[in-house]
Amino acid sequence: MSSKFTDHLGRPLVAVTGMGVVTSLGRGLKDNWERLTAGVSGIHGISRFPTELLSTRIAGTVDFIPSDPNPVARSYAFAEATIEEALEMAGLSGDFDAPLFLAAPPVEPEWSMRFNLGDRAPPPKEDNDVYVRFLAAMREQADPAFHEAVMFGSISERIADRFGTRGLPVTLSTACASGATAIQLGVEAIRQGRTDKAMTVATDGSVTAEALVRFSLLSALSTQNDPPEKASKPFSKDRDGFVIAEGAATLILESLEAAHARGAKVYGIIRGCGEKADHFHRTRSSPDGGPAIATIRAALEDAGLGIDSLDYINAHGTSTPENDKMEYSALKAVFGDELMPSIPLSSNKSMIGHALTAAGAVEAVFSLQTMLTGVLPPTINYINPDPTIDLDVVPNTARNASVSSVLSSSFGFGGQNACLVMTREPS
Amino acid sequence: MTKSDNDVVVTGIGLVTSFGVGQAPHVAMLTGSATPAVNVDSEICAPYPVHPLPEIDWKDQIPKRGDQRQMENWQRLGVYAAGLALDDAGVKGNEDICSTMDMIVAAGGGERDIAVDTMIINEGLERSDREILLNEKLTTELRPTLFLAQLANLVAGNISIVQKVTGSSRTFMGEEAAGISAVATAYARILAGQSTHTLVGGAFVAERRDILLMLEAVHALSRGARAPLWDRAAEDDGGMVMGSAGAFLVLESRAYAETRGAHIYATISGVEGDRGKRDEGRLEKRLGRLFADAGFEGGEGDVVFSGATGLTALTKREADFVKQAFPDTPLRGYTGITGHAMEANFPSVLRLARWRSTTRHRSLSSMTVKDR
């Protein structure tokens, strides 16, 4: 029942016809890929705000794309850069005229905005009255910039206006799996026949002092501040947490048939998506890896691929003690003791840190690029391997390999798990 | 309407508004002959009237105190309303059904720690090194668990933990639009056979000044005495009156619901949403298209339930459009009596519309437009 343009279940194959990416390594696919495959780290000391008294003083912030200094403006600016790149790659111009699926960070007002509001608000009168005073100040004088900087829908509104997407944009958050979920929503919309194409974007420019402190309080971040580029060491014995980062990625998805009809170049196929929620704990995964296992299996099943047909894994690999251990045991459960050590796997986060909301989409772009170029990016800082994790992590230097299928995994707080299977265009 | 296996049917309803918890108070409000007694609190967030949470015994749906403590009211309300919907559908505690049930939650942001924020601002008034002050206070005063109580996707996360819904978990953000997209996506997935059963909804707590601040930043809120929805003064008054609501639905394919012998409340025949410029009649044109795409014709027995924000000029334009397009169809502005519930606004109307239609017919067309 499958034709040239449909999959094993007769559904439309979904092609990627454009990609754009921004990480702490740079702007654009070319620069990113050069640095990523050269094993360069984008992690650095934080200069955006003072880090005195903070236990973590490093991050993969993106400081080279100008924007107003708040998470909404930054996240939009990163997204815009990747959309422009992806549309150009796809050869599309004018109104996009198809749905937008955006993974965006849940934002809060910048503290500078609260301080400014406090300065023009009446003085303290009673305990815990700061929002009473803020509201009095707002009644006195409205502040549309504040409004835009705190609405969760602001980024998608701006994208919709600038690029002419169609309908109500979807803004979503599935924590660290958000980027993968945005792509999954785009794939589903095309399979539903609702649209021939979709714009899937994931962006995160939300590194602030408060965000850093919150993750620190959960003991999630690496405190190995010196040197910054050595802190993120997925699957190593001395890993102690992830390095928070920023970035964005856009994938233009089209039904393979529509892409062919307009003569578009196809960069890869989003072959399958899997997801499964975890009810074990708010921040920790089930110790048996059950939901992660189910997610990987669901993605393979959706793609119609067996465990022996996967050439490479783009790991979630956060460098937290718990994730890397859980991820390894889940992979081992799915692929088996014999097969698992023979499938190369690497973690981009060793170089770009964990771009949270954007990570899943950034890593999908790098997964596709792996197939296109035949180069596996390395897992850097792999000096002291964790002896309990028996994986080929493509240690420290890139490797040439012919890859025609990739699994990309994302696991997040709140029991979020999502996996994507990508393949080359069928010949 | 011909029935088909992939029809999207409603089999469970969980609703909390200022009128109360569950079906009884809402059915009474909708079907009673008297004008509903509106529950509005003018004091708690003065000068802004809000429709507050009703009395809720959280343990009815969140039995473990440890779970309750991990959340603030916004997340509790979502988990509670989700539990009501699962109960109503007769699937709560059914591991086979809940562990394969998909979930889409429309969520905003969680509570701030008002005491910590006040302390930082007050001390900041006396300090020039505010960024250092911030590091000082945030590292010592923030409760680790507060972060999780604030995260948008932790409503869904807590529903997984407490109600064991784990087929999938997606959180949509973006104010009113999130609620519309959540239902539209759940609907489209079931219709296409991508999901057999989905829990969808959202929660919003109105009596929070930190949330009101976001809206008052553009002078969107109504001040002083609450006025009827269609008649809010434009002078120095934005027109929005916020209302607490938790609203969840269990949606299923007809085949899945019939196989398990579920009671089917209603069929959803269309969900549409859109956005864009409103000048030069664009709003009216868009509304017309959405009604048509959702398959609503304004026939006998139909009702239009409007979730208009209350924003004075826009609300009037919406009402004018509906009256002109469907002159024989009653128009009910439910946000006038429940308040505006942001992410939970659209999910709420679906539940109300369903109960309203018990005396009418079983088909439910729903549409809305992002209205702000």
Mean pLDDT score of chain B, rounded to an integer? Answer: 90
**Are A217 and B147 inside 8 Å of each other by CB?**
yes
- CA B177-B182-B186 angle, to 5 degrees, is 150
Q: Is the pLDDT of residue B231 over 90?
A: no
Nearest CA in chain A to B128: A115
Q: How many angstroms away from the CA of A109 is the closest CA of chain B?
A: 9
Determine, for residues B169 and A416 on separate chains, whether the beta-carbon distance falls below 8 Å.
yes
**Best B199, B275, B282 residue to mutate vs chain A (most A CBs within 10 Å):** B275
- Identify all chain A residues contacting B210, using CB atoms and an 8 Å cutoff: 131
Q: In this structure, what token pair is assigned to residue A20? A: 């754009």
Domain ranges across chain B: 8-110+151-364
CB–CB contact A416 B122 (8 Å): no
Contact between chains at B209 and A134 (C-beta distance less than 8 A): yes
Nearest chain A CA: its distance from B209 CA (Å): 6
Cite the beta strand spans of A104-196 per DSSP E.
Answer: 170-172
Instruction: State the pLDDT at residue B236.
Output: 64
Contacts with A108 from chain B: Cβ below 8 Å: 109, 150
Respond yes or no: is residue A316 known to be catalytic.
Answer: yes
Which chain A residues are within 8 Å of B165, Cβ to Cβ? 277
Q: For chain A, what is the radius of gyration of the CA atoms? A: 21
For residue A5, pLDDT beyond 70: yes
pLDDT tens-digit series, residues A320-356 = 999 999 999 999 999 999 999 999 999 999 999 999 9
pLDDT, average across residues B221-238: 83
Residue in chain A nearest B166 by alpha carbon: A277
Chain B hits for A49, CB-CB cut-off 8 Å, are 131
In chain A, % of residues over pLDDT 70: 100
Minimum Cα–Cα distance from A153: chain B residue: B174
Catalytic residue among A44, A176, A273, A279: A176
pLDDT over threshold 60, residue A84: yes
A124: closest chain B residue by CA: B122
The answer to whether A336 and A307 are in contact (CB under 8 A) is yes
Compute the nearest-CA separation of A39 from chain B (Å): 33
The dihedral built from the CA positions of residue A177, A291, A221 and B148, taken in this order, carries a sign that is positive
Residue A44, pLDDT > 50, answer: yes
> Over the stretch B316-326, which tens digit does the pLDDT of each residue have?
999 999 999 99
Closest CA in chain B for residue A220: B144
Count the alpha carbons within 13 Å of B309 in the hemisphere toward its beta carbon: 22
Among residues of chain B, what percentage have pLDDT more than 90? Answer: 66
Chain B residues touching A210 at Cβ < 8 A: 134, 138, 142
Q: Examine the pLDDT at B313 and tell me if it is beyond 70.
A: yes
Is the domain spanning B8-110+151-364 CATH 3.40.50.1980? The answer is no
Interface contacts (A, B; CB < 8 Å): 238
Task: Assess whether pLDDT exceeds 80 at residue A38.
Answer: yes
Mean pLDDT of B126-132: 96
Alpha-carbon span B337 to B108, nearest angstrom: 22
Instruction: Please tell me whether residue A102 adopts helix, strand or coil conformation.
Output: strand
Residue A275: predicted pLDDT:
97
Find the residue in A nearest to B271 (Cα): A168
Q: What is the pLDDT of residue B137?
A: 97
**Does the annotation mark A281 as catalytic?**
no
Hey, are the CB atoms on B184 and A104 less than 8 Å from each other?
A: no
Residues of B in contact with A192 (CB under 8 A): 188-189, 191-192, 194
User: Which residue on chain B is closest to A159 by alpha carbon?
Assistant: B276
* Whether the predicted pLDDT of B82 surpasses 70: yes
**What is the DSSP code string of A360-379?**
HHHHHHHHHHHHHHTEEPPB
Task: Report which of B157, B151, B204 is spatially closest to residue A357, judged by C-alpha positions.
Answer: B151
Burial class (CB in 10 A: 0-12, 13-18, 19+), B32: exposed
The verdict on a CB contact (< 8 Å) between A209 and B370 is no
CA–CA min distance B104, chain A (Å): 10
Please state the separation of Cα B85 from the chain's center in Å. 14
| Distance of alpha carbon B144 from alpha carbon B162, whole angstroms | 20
Contacts of A152 in chain B (CB under 8 A): 108-109, 152, 173-175, 178
Residue B354: predicted pLDDT: 60
Q: How confident is the model at residue B189 (pLDDT cuts 50, 70, 90)?
A: very high
In chain A, what percentage of residues exceed pLDDT 90?
96
From chain B, the residues in CB contact with A95 under 8 A are: none
Return d(Cα B184, Cα B366) in angstroms, integer. Answer: 10
Active-site residue, selected from the candidate residues A44, A273, A281, A316: A316
- Please classify residue B230 by burial: count the beta carbons closer than 10 Å to its beta carbon, then call 0-12 exposed, 13-18 middle and 19+ buried: middle
pLDDT digits (tens, 9 = 90+) for A366-417: 999 999 999 999 999 999 999 999 999 999 999 999 999 999 999 998 999 9
Closest Cβ opposite residue B160 in set A131, A143, A415: A415
Are B118 and A128 a contacting pair at CB < 8 A?
Answer: yes
pLDDT at A192: 97
CB contact under 8 A, B275 and A160: yes
Tell which of B70, B135, B278 to mutate to test the A interface (max A CBs under 10 Å).
B135
B371: confidence class by pLDDT, cuts 50, 70, 90: very low
Pairing between strand B102-106 and B197-204? parallel
Q: A152 and B184 in contact by Cβ < 8 A? A: no
How does strand A405-412 pair with strand B363-364? unpaired
Whether this model's ipTM surpasses 0.95 comes out as: yes
Nearest Cα neighbor of B48 from B286, B177, B210, B190 is B210
Q: Which of A56, A129, A140, A173 to mutate to test the interface with B (most CBs of B within 10 A)?
A: A173
Cβ contact A275–B215 (<8 Å): no
User: Is the per-residue pLDDT at B352 higher than 80?
Assistant: no
Give the mean model confidence (pLDDT) for residues A9-26. 98
The better pLDDT of the pair B355, A142 is held by A142
CA distance to partner chain A, nearest, from residue B284 (Å): 15
Q: Residue B362 has what pLDDT?
A: 32
- Position B212 scores a pLDDT of 97
| C-beta separation of B160 from B83 below 8 A | no
For residue A307, pLDDT over 70 is answered with yes
Give the per-residue pLDDT at B29.
87
Contact B191, B6 (CB under 8 A): yes
Question: With contact defined as beta carbons under 8 Å apart, do B77 and B53 qualify?
Answer: yes
Residue to mutate among B118, B141, B279, with most A CBs inside 10 A, is B118
**B192 vs A213: CB contact, 8 Å cut-off?**
no
Average confidence (pLDDT) over B184-207: 97
CA nearest to B245, candidates B71, B21, B11, B13:
B21
Name which of B95, B169, B199, B253 to mutate to probe chain A: the one with the most chain A Cβ atoms within 10 A of its Cβ: B169
Q: Which residues of B touch A144 (CB under 8 A)?
A: 217-218
pLDDT, mean of residues A179-197: 98
Question: Looking at CA atoms only, how far is residue A236 from chain B in angstroms?
Answer: 27
At residue B109 the predicted structure's pLDDT band, cuts being 50, 70 and 90, is: confident
CA of A54 to nearest chain B CA: how many angstroms apart?
A: 7
Does the structure show a pLDDT above 70 at B81? yes
* Nearest CB to A213 within list B125, B138, B216: B138
A193 and B216 within 8 Å at the Cβ level: the answer is no
What are the chain A neighbours of B370 within 8 Å (beta carbons)? 168
Decide if pLDDT at B360 tops 70: no
Q: Which domains does chain A have, with CATH numbers?
A: 14-107+152-423 (3.40.47.10), 112-148 (no CATH)
* CA terminus-to-terminus distance, chain A: 17
Is B369 a residue whose pLDDT tops 90?
A: no
How many Å lie between the alpha carbon of A188 and the closest alpha carbon of chain B?
Answer: 8
Distance of alpha carbon B97 from alpha carbon B90, whole angstroms: 10
In this prediction, residue A210 has a pLDDT band, given cuts at 50, 70 and 90, of: very high
pLDDT tens digits for range B261-282: 999 998 888 888 889 888 899 9
